[in-house]
Amino acid sequence: MTVDNPRTPGAGAAAGTDHPMLAVRDLCKSYGDVEAVRGVSFDVRAGEVVVIIGPSGCGKSTTLRCLNLLEEPNRGTLRLDDRELDFSNRRTLPAGRDLARFRARFGMVFQQFDLFAHKTAIENVMIGQVVVKKIRPERAQAAARDLLRRVGLEGMDDRRPRELSGGQQQRVAIARALAMSPEVLLFDEVTSALDPELVGEVLEVMQDLAREGATMVVVTHEMSFARDVADRVLFMDQGQLVEEGTAAEVMVNPRNPRTRTFLARYHRGAQEDPGQGGA
């Protein structure tokens, strides 16, 4: 899958600022004896698109889910703007309503769409605004209609998920995340459950968000998106951050032998199966 009209790397609204919006240090997450994430550290600046790539099972999605505490890390620190969490000191960790408020600072879009099957597209987008943010229904409805138009679903307000394609459902999920006005958008393999012909419409919405200056952390196997849209690319393997740099540095001229091996295998697979996303 090729991304048309690629965003200029480094075009993030504040990609050159000194202080990151999100700072992750020595993040670790274990499940029993299995270390899924081992000492991962990185920064995300306001308006920056950071893409995480790597083989399946390397800890990419777990890292992403640790950022908004869907998974609680065992060790490390995380700072989001003015709030710092130290996972070795539980007194710093949010709980109850404070946890809900912290998570609301992130907009999470999952591999599976997780829409309410009995609600229409506009109701799915409205629900967080009404239930969590206590916005009046008529105001939430107007905002949801604008967001559906923004993701290319104008006129589909009253359709239920079963009446939408996979790509359309994923765009509703993106609109739902945007409705909460998050500081950081998290995307976890959002195209992997889609038929190949539907991938492009979702990537186009993500590319538009990047152009508009959204702060994004994206886990993906779409190498063309990483190459054309990312300000920075992180390559993970076996729970560790192996290499980090600009898209050109990591995707075109990687320094680490493991990164080179992964990309070479990916490119061979893309040439053998033109239907899958490739660079």
Banded pLDDT at 268 (limits 50, 70, 90): low
Task: Look up residue 67 and give its DSSP letter.
Answer: H
pLDDT at 93 over 90: yes
Higher pLDDT, 53 or 15: 53
Per-residue model confidence as pLDDT tens digits over 44-62: 999 999 999 999 999 999 9
Mean pLDDT in residue range 100-105: 92
Alpha-carbon torsion (219, 206, 224, 251), positive or negative: negative
Cα–Cα distance between 212 and 42 in angstroms, integer? 23
Judge if pTM exceeds 0.75: yes
Banded pLDDT at 19 (limits 50, 70, 90): confident
Over pLDDT 70: what percentage of the chain? 89
Cα–Cα distance between 279 and 268 in angstroms, integer? 11
| Residue corresponding to tokens 């800890």 | 59
Contact 115, 161 (CB under 8 A): yes
Per-residue model confidence as pLDDT tens digits over 125-172: 999 999 888 999 999 999 999 999 999 999 999 999 999 999 999 999
Please provide the average confidence, as pLDDT, over all residues in the chain. Answer: 90
pLDDT for res 2: 44
Banded pLDDT at 7 (limits 50, 70, 90): low
Distance of CA 183 to CAs 17, 46, 81, 109, 111, Å? 16, 9, 9, 14, 20
Distance of CA 51 to CAs 32, 142, 156, 179, Å? 28, 32, 30, 22
Banded pLDDT at 6 (limits 50, 70, 90): low
Which burial class, exposed, middle or buried, applies to 260 when counting CB atoms under 10 A from its CB (0-12, 13-18, 19+)?
A: middle
Per-residue model confidence as pLDDT tens digits over 162-201: 999 999 999 999 999 999 999 999 999 999 889 988 999 9
Per-residue model confidence as pLDDT tens digits over 210-247: 999 999 999 999 999 999 999 999 999 999 999 999 99
pLDDT for res 269: 59
